[in-house]
């Protein structure tokens, strides 16, 4: 009898232990972030919306947010901020804490306790460096950490010292004198407008908003091609650059992503520009003429856009992901916010569907990839970038560039509203 009792007790204890282990396993699984392998064997569940699927895929590829866009060490640079802008909105929609933690870790890693920004050098007066300030504006609003406020004030003081053209347009960088690039409008103006809304009042705020609108006015004045409605990549006021037209100072081609940056700049600035500001209607009119121009060069079959916008049939040109995602985001946000008539949604949806059909691939584990992204393009520098057609189509092409995945997340969120 004693042996039987002992045997029964052992079985009961073993069963209880198994139950406890199972319970602990279930609890552990439940608390793991959704970037871990799900029960279906997928790293990224396929039943989620595209915005969340792409964000989770980026988090899987780049476990620390400072790694976004293939960074090998923590550095203050702009592409990560675009993905994190999407992450802010996905977090607001889902409430999933791992998304907030991913954003927050960027600030924790890049901003020292005294407010110093890791790897940032103000004396370079590089307008690209302002863009990641958008992440700090978000984190300061949420966490009120003094170090974020100090870092924001540093970035805002860069604006005061930025070298400018004779009409007040920001140079793209100190090393690119007298030059305004379309890219710079996205890099600088949404941050400038958001900071002004949060921290400036009265005459100071009015002066800042006027300054912001002036940047767009100057772009329309100096970079617009009146024949096509498209905008050239850059303008050199001095007309000294080898890439600059000797009469107009314009660069020679319409680069897709440069125009993509410009469209995003307009719709994002409007989030912060006061409703009664006299420049608001002008900015909305720019969006309309801009959109009409890009629709004329939208590929009829796929709904996508080419690396060099107006030369779709030429050798080496290709349907490019970052520009396509940016155009789609600009259009659908403009429709949702009332800047464009609802009829424009059809073209935006065609572009969005074209991205999913032609440029998105999904791995067996559910991880989503965005393919055919132009890695980088610019003008001047060393080695010298000429802005020729051959230059643009021969720059590196890669997958999962943050300059494409970020706008894809943002565009997806607009379609998911």
Catalytic residues: 183
Q: Where are the beta strands (DSSP E) in 211-347?
A: 234-236
Tokens 């424009």 found at:
344
Choose among 33, 89, 26: nearest CA to 415.
89
SS3 392: helix
Distance CA 156, CA 305 (A): 35
Beta carbons of 266 and 330 less than 8 angstroms apart = yes
- Please give the DSSP secondary-structure letter assigned to residue 405: H
* Rounded Cα gap, residues 90 and 38, in angstroms: 19
CA distance 384 to 174: 16
DSSP secondary structure letters along 20-58:
HHHHHHHHHHHHS-TTSPPTTS-SS-TTS-HHHHHHHHH
The helix, strand and coil proportions of the chain, stated in percent and rounded to the nearest 5, come to 55, 5, 35
> Residue 92 class from Cβ within 10 Å (0-12 exposed, 13-18 middle, 19+ buried)?
exposed
CB 299 within 8 A of CB 285: no
Q: Could you give the CA distance from residue 332 to residue 343 in angstroms, rounded to a whole number?
A: 11
Q: Measuring CA to CA, how many Å separate 45 from each of 59, 94, 126, 359, 399?
A: 13, 15, 39, 19, 20
For residue 166, what are its two tokens?
A: 């004779």
Judge contact between 388 and 63, C-beta under 8 A.
no
Cα atoms in the 13 Å half-sphere on the side-chain side of 399? 16
Q: Report the alpha-carbon distance of residue 394 to residue 389 in Å, rounded.
A: 9
Whole-number Å distance between alpha carbons of 49 and 28: 25
CA atoms within 13 A on the CB side of 147: 13
Between CA 141 and CA 153 the distance in angstroms is 14
CA-CA distance, 333 to 270, in Å (whole number)? 11
């Amino acid at each position: 009898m004693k042996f039987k009792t002992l045997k029964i007790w052992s079985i009961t204890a073993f069963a209880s232990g198994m139950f406890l282990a199972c319970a602990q396993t279930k609890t552990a699984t439940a608390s793991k972030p959704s970037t871990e392998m799900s029960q279906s064997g997928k790293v990224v569940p396929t039943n989620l919306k595209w915005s969340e699927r792409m964000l989770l895929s980026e988090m899987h590829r780049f476990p620390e947010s400072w790694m976004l866009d293939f960074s090998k060490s923590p550095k203050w640079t702009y592409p990560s901020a675009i993905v994190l802008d999407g992450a802010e909105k996905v977090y607001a929609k889902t409430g999933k804490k791992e998304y907030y933690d991913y954003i927050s870790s960027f600030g924790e890693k890049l901003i020292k306790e005294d407010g110093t920004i890791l790897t940032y050098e103000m004396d370079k007066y590089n307008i690209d460096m302002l863009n990641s300030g958008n992440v700090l504006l978000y984190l300061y609003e949420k966490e009120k950490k003094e170090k974020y406020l100090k870092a924001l004030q540093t970035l805002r003081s860069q604006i005061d010292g930025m070298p400018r053209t004779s009409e007040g347009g920001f140079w793209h960088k100190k090393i690119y004198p007298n030059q305004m690039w379309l890219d710079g409008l996205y890099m600088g103006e949404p941050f400038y407008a958001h900071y002004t809304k949060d921290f400036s009042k009265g005459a100071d705020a009015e002066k800042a908003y006027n300054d912001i609108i002036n940047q767009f006015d100057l772009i329309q004045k100096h970079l617009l091609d009146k024949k096509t409605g498209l905008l050239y990549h850059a303008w050199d006021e001095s007309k000294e650059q080898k890439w600059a037209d000797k009469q107009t100072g314009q660069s020679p081609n319409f680069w897709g992503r440069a125009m993509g940056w410009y469209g995003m700049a307009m719709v994002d600035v409007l989030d912060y520009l006061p409703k009664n500001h006299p420049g608001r209607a002008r900015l909305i009119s720019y969006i309309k003429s801009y959109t009409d121009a890009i629709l004329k060069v939208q590929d009829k079959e796929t709904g996508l856009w080419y690396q060099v916008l107006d030369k779709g049939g030429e050798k080496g040109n290709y349907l490019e992901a970052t520009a396509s995602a940016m155009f789609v985001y600009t259009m659908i946000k403009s429709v949702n916010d009332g800047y464009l008539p609802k009829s424009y949604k059809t073209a935006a949806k065609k572009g969005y569907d074209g991205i999913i059909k032609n440029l998105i691939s999904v791995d067996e584990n559910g991880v989503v990839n965005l393919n055919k992204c132009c890695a980088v393009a610019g003008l001047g520098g060393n080695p010298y970038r000429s802005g020729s057609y051959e230059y643009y189509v021969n720059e590196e092409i890669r997958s999962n560039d943050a300059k494409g995945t970020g706008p894809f997340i943002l565009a997806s969120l607009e379609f998911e509203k």
